[in-house]
Structure 1
């Protein structure tokens, strides 16, 4: 790759973007490698990408749709759940993969220079496979139940972008923290498991916050995906708009993204020495 000439007179954000663009080929190569390796030497191959969300949907349908009987405002429960799963599946994949991404690429990090941010960013690209499959389930169930998307679908791109930013924000933070504190390798699976139930994927957020005081609602929406999943489902199915507390979730997303980039940049300087 050609040597990148850095103009110190330009803002730091501009330098970062220019450098990332210069290494875009490496970004695509890493994403393609991860995509190929993900289901390599498996009997079912790509079918696992369909089986995993389908199994989760079946569990949610039995637990929340049949046993707990969650209020879905008239929407068939499988459709209600899969709309929540669509954004969560992307977030959870990026979270899982980004946490150990730098450690997994430590040999490359030690030997050559490249912007280390390329590594967690490449995981975000691979995660679109899970997202596309979840959205395929959404379309199939809408056709099956004869459900017409709401007019709010014009806001869907906004919530998709927020999902991507949220996944990158937490993923970048974890990838940098895991280098210094290896305990986070064990924390990430717990966060994903806990987050699935702490996020309104299989139920409505309003059923939770109506039982909480205001401070409890803020705590619930400190989960960056709480407001996003709520808004994602609203943009597809209509119904009540996201709670006013959802805007707190959106603020947390932006805060995590900015601080995550700053912390990653700080750790990047010594990454090759401590990885």
Structure 2
């Protein structure tokens, strides 16, 4: 007896169903960014509480309290001006030159150092309740942002006593700050990720930041200390272009070159993209390494 195959079975055999299409990487990361934006908006009160609590605890038992946030950059500027002014004898208003580079560097250094430990230090909170892990590095970045904003306010108050003058190019200072914050955020997220899995990274970061500080022309002018043939060493330093932006806007009172803006934008975008991708790709595994 012949068994007839149904038309439906024949069609299914001859024409298999099309393979399911996987969402593209762009769509996946776009969804992740959208989800993170929604979660950060939902947990924004938690971030505010972490920032305000840290700022209160940091100076609660000192006599001057929160004024140390203002005095620290002033004292550091004074010390650096005394010891490093001889390296740049042709630099007028040397304290302004130092201040213009030291304030943003303080934000970068503080953000990276603190974000390296932010996941580990909040182990108890992470294990008890659910919080987006981005909350912790973002809160550390905001704490250092408050400190930098106050330091910049002090710097502008001292421009006239130190012999400098406000200029029209300073109107672009917010743009330079946004690019520098993106650059610092990317590095901070990358270091927070690596240090959660390899604890030696936190100790190594402090040493590398110290070396990076002296390799960046913050307390000296590169063209006065090094010959022209050695300037390539600064051009491979990603922080060099951001410090040059601040020096041009604040110290020189000049419009930075377009190439400096474009390189700063490219470096900031790459840093933020790499840092965010590294953090999100390992976010779910962090709790198992605490």
Range of TM-score over shorter length = 0.7 to 0.9
C-alpha deviation, 1:202, in angstroms? 1.4
Aligned residue for 2:7?
Answer: none
2:110 to 89, 93, 96: 93
Q: In the alignment, which residue of structure 2 is the partner of 1:54? A: 74
Pairing 1:267–2:282 present? yes
Match of 2:32 in 1: 12
Provide the residue aligned with 1:212 in structure 2: 230
1:230 is the counterpart of 2:244: yes
Normalised by the length of structure 2, the TM-score is: 0.81
The CA deviation at 1:163 is: 1.9
2:127 matches 1:110: yes
Deviates more, 1:29-38 or 1:187-196: 187-196
Q: For residues 118-197 of structure 1, what are the structure 2 equivalents within 5 Å? A: 118-197=135-214
The answer to whether the 8 A contact 2:117-2:202 is kept is: yes
The runs of 5 or more residues in structure 2 that have no matched partner are 1-27
- Aligned residue-pair number: 261
Q: CA RMSD in A?
A: 2.5
- Separation (CA, whole Å) in 1 of partners of 2:126 and 2:227: 45
- The answer as to whether partners of 1:64 and 1:70 remain within 8 angstroms in 2 is no
* Matched residue SS, 1:148: coil
Where do 1:21-40 residues align within 5 Å? 21-40=41-60
Closer, same or farther: CA 112–97 of 1 in aligned 2, 3 Å: same
| Inter-partner Cα distance in structure 2 for 1:170 and 1:147 | 33
Distance 1:198 1:187 in 2: 17
1:251 and 2:266 are equivalent in the alignment: yes
Change (3 A) 1:245 1:211: farther
Q: Which has the larger radius of gyration?
A: 2
Aligned to 1:69: 88
Structure 1: gaps (5+ residues): 1-7
Note the alpha carbon deviations across 1:71-94, whole angstroms, 9 max, x for none.
33x4x1111111111211222221
Distance 1:243 1:186, change over 3 A: farther
Q: Matches of 1:139 and 1:105 in 2, distance apart?
A: 36
Distance 2:55 2:143 in 1: 6
Paired residues of 1:82 and 1:137 also in contact (CA < 8 A): no
**CA distance 1:191–1:250, shift in 2 (3 Å):** farther
8 A contact 2:195–2:202 mirrored in 1? yes
